[in-house]
Amino acid sequence: MQKVLWGVDRFSTWIGKLFAWLVVVLTALITWEVFSRYALNHPHAWVLDAQIMLYGTMFMTAGAYTLSKNGHVRGDVLYGFFRPRTQAAVDLTLYIVFFLPGIVALTWAGWTYANESLAIREQTFSAEALPLYPFKFMIPLAGAVLLLQGIVEIVRCVLCLREGAWPRREDDVEEVDVDKLKEMVNVRDEDIEALDHLVVTKDRA
């Protein structure tokens, strides 16, 4: 079971990291448009639409990746004090009551929405129109991947309720560990305090 969970996690991670490269395309596009607009006096009407579609695609496809890393924001003022089984019970309830209906509706409506756009070969409303239907197909794609990851999270809740502990996740990107960083560069808290005292003394002088 753990291999299946990690397999879906890896797939969500792969999707998220793949579409994260759009930030490079987006940065290059904006840089080129600024240069073209102000240096060459030759703006392009389609660039704004392209920026919105690229950013929207990147934003939507990051959902499953973030969920696989348990990175979505939650109001955990009380949640953090709960036992794992209580946390799992809360999460499972919220997944069933809110997540599943919402994401299923998003995926279903998004598929209908995208097919209707494809049928009329929908374009953006600008002087230099871009095809809009490829972007709209990102909605059901992102919804389907997020739904798959959500099912995995529901399985994790069930396992936690049964075993009393959360199943382990694979490691990916971790936040900077300040203590490890201090140890790596051989800096002690006393050194930092002495430096702070020296800076304060110089400021007063």
- Using the predicted structure, report yes or no on whether residue 204 has a pLDDT greater than 70: no
pTM of the model: 0.77
Please write the tens of the pLDDT for every residue from 75-99: 666 777 788 899 899 999 999 999 9
* Whether pLDDT at 195 is above 60: no
Kindly state the tokens that stand for 170.
């694979």
Instruction: Determine the pLDDT at residue 108.
Output: 96
pLDDT, one tens digit per residue, over 140-192 is 999 999 999 999 999 999 999 999 888 888 764 444 455 665 677 676 767 65
Contacts from 130-139 at CB under 8 Å and sequence distance 24+?
130/46, 130/49, 130/50, 130/53, 132/53, 135/53, 135/56, 135/57, 136/110, 138/56, 138/57, 138/60, 138/61, 139/60, 139/106, 139/107, 139/110, 139/111, 139/113, 139/114
